[in-house]
Amino acid sequence: MRIACRISPGRKRLSKMAVTSDIVTEVRLRVQRARSVAVLTGAGVSAESGVPTFRGANGLWRSYRAEQLATPQAFARDPVLVWRWYDWRRQRIAACCPNPAHAALAALERTVPDFLLITQNVDGLHRQAGSTALVELHGNLWRVRCTAEETVQDLPAVLIDTIPPCCACGALQRPDVVWFGEPLSEAAVTRASQAAERCEVMLVVGTSLLVHPAAALPALAKRRGAYLVEVNVEPTPVTAYADAAFQQPAGIVLPRLMHSC
Ligand code: BV8
């Protein structure tokens, strides 16, 4: 199997095949020997499960872009429209299963003493695959939050009785996700930043690194001396300074990188 990959500029350029087996072996050894590993994932890790990414060709819904609907202003203006988008996504995701990339990361967690999976995804597929050392930076669309009392509850039913759902107190319930312009949970950001600061290896999987503050985590890890591995089907701002960059689908590369971990 050919994995298109590049290696940090300081390394001698070997033949494509040698680099492929050489760099895969190096990444495997780094991960096996690491006491502390952090992983940052984005929508690309769920792409092979059939979940639309945000900025890919199918990142549209009724010609809206996510940034137009995933905001408090859009919800205040038209809660029914925003809920119809989330309902559409929940129904799409309900038909999707975790893919080998999710499974590889859930298995990796069991072999690393200090492991944290930091995801920007709200689809719940990492949890479904068995990941438990997990920070969902942007929330989870299978939970809802009361707009008056801030109480959070699971809403696993694929078909929602009434849209928009209401709390027992009578107030609207919103998806328990972080919208653009809203602050992330301080506890989640602290936990993610501390993991980035102390990890020996960071895997950056399936994210365009356009959304902050998550996008700043790989540079933080690199500054602290982490060995940075990117898995993405296209280049991103991290590719230039990653120690290893694999430009193939996560569902193919991650199981190979985790083999015999
Ligand atoms: C905040 C939940 C402050 C909702 C989401 C600094 C600089 C610039 C801008 C800002 C900044 N600081 C803050 C901002 C503003 C803003 C922001 O970052 N804007 C961007 C668009 C410029 N950030 C915020 O508003 C954040 N809040 O900072 O608050 C604050 C403080 C105090 C008081 C008030 C405010 C909140 C951001 C969270 C937004 N919510 N989601 C929902 O999902 O419904 S973000 C949304 O984008 C998703 O969570 C998604 O995961 C995330 C990031 O996108 P990606 O995951 O990377 O997905 P994308 O489609 O872009 O890319 C997919 C990648 O996968 C691609 O690279 C593709 O090549 C690759 N791929 C595809 N297939 C595969 C693959 N790779 C491997 N294998 C494959 N098979």
Asked if domains 1-50+98-138+184-261 and 52-95+140-177 share a fold, the reply is: no
Spell out the domain ranges in the chain: 1-50+98-138+184-261, 52-95+140-177
178 lines ligand 1 (CB under 6 A): yes
Q: How far from chain centre, in Å, is Cα 163?
A: 27
82 lines ligand 1 (CB under 6 A): no
Cα-to-centroid distance, 197 and ligand 1 (Å): 21
Q: Whose CA is nearest to atom 47 of ligand 1?
A: 211
Q: Where are the alpha helices (DSSP H) in 95-129?
A: 100-109, 125-128
As a whole number of angstroms, the distance between CA 190 and CA 176 comes to 19
Tracing tokens 């996700």 back to the chain, one arrives at 177
1-50+98-138+184-261: CATH topology = Rossmann fold (3.40.50)
The pLDDT assigned to 124 comes to 98
The pLDDT assigned to 22 comes to 87
pLDDT in tens, 24-36: 999 999 999 999 9
Please identify every residue annotated as catalytic: 138
Positions in the chain short of pLDDT 50: 1-3, 6-19
Rounded to 5 degrees, φ, ψ at 229 are -120, 125
140 lines ligand 1 (CB under 6 A): no
Percent of the chain with pLDDT over 70: 90
Percent of the chain with pLDDT over 90: 81
Domain 52-95+140-177 is found in CATH 3.30.1600.10: yes
121 lines ligand 1 (CB under 6 A): yes
The pLDDT assigned to 57 comes to 66
Give the closest residue to 246 by CA, choosing from 228, 231, 261, 256.
Answer: 231
**CB–CB of 47/234 below 8 Å?**
no
Q: For residue 52, which amino acid is it?
A: P
